[in-house]
Copies of this chain bind each other. A is one copy, B any other.
Amino acid sequence: MEIAINTEGQSPLFAQLVEQIKQRVLDKSLAPGAALPSIRQLANDLQLNNKTVAKAYQLLERDQIIQTKGYRGTFVHPDAIANCTIDLAAWVFAQLAETIETLRGAGTTDSEIRIAFADAMHNRQAKEN
């Protein structure tokens, strides 16, 4: 695992990690089924916090690029290569853009949309008055 983390860089550490691992999967230096270093191991190698590495691993697992098998360690997902090209962000964007367009069409202020959005993210009802 030769991974270069740029602490001075602009993008967050966990994101850099995600990107680099994706890259290694795409250029075949990480084959499907291959074992990845443990969270603590990698954190130690790269001088990162465990949580930072853990966060990267969680995102990668959600996108089906890696697979964690509990105490047995973490492995590259069988369909990792294909799943590297799926763009979840684009779909999320489309969904939200559509809803926002509807709301704006109803004359809602951007400010009101943002407030309601924040409330909805917090699972709290919109308050009256």
Which residues of A pack against B, CB within 8 Å?
19, 59, 62, 87-93, 95-100, 102-103, 106-110, 112-117, 119-121, 125-126, 128-129
- Count copies of this chain in the complex: 2
Q: Is the CB of A93 within 8 A of B59?
A: no
Q: Is the CB of B121 within 8 A of A93?
A: no
Q: Is the CB of B126 within 8 A of A100?
A: no
Known: A96-B103, A97-B120. 17 other contacts (CB 8 A): A59-B109, A88-B106, A88-B108, A89-B115, A90-B126, A91-B106, A92-B106, A92-B108, A92-B116, A93-B116, A93-B119, A93-B120, A95-B99, A96-B116, A96-B120, A99-B99, A100-B120
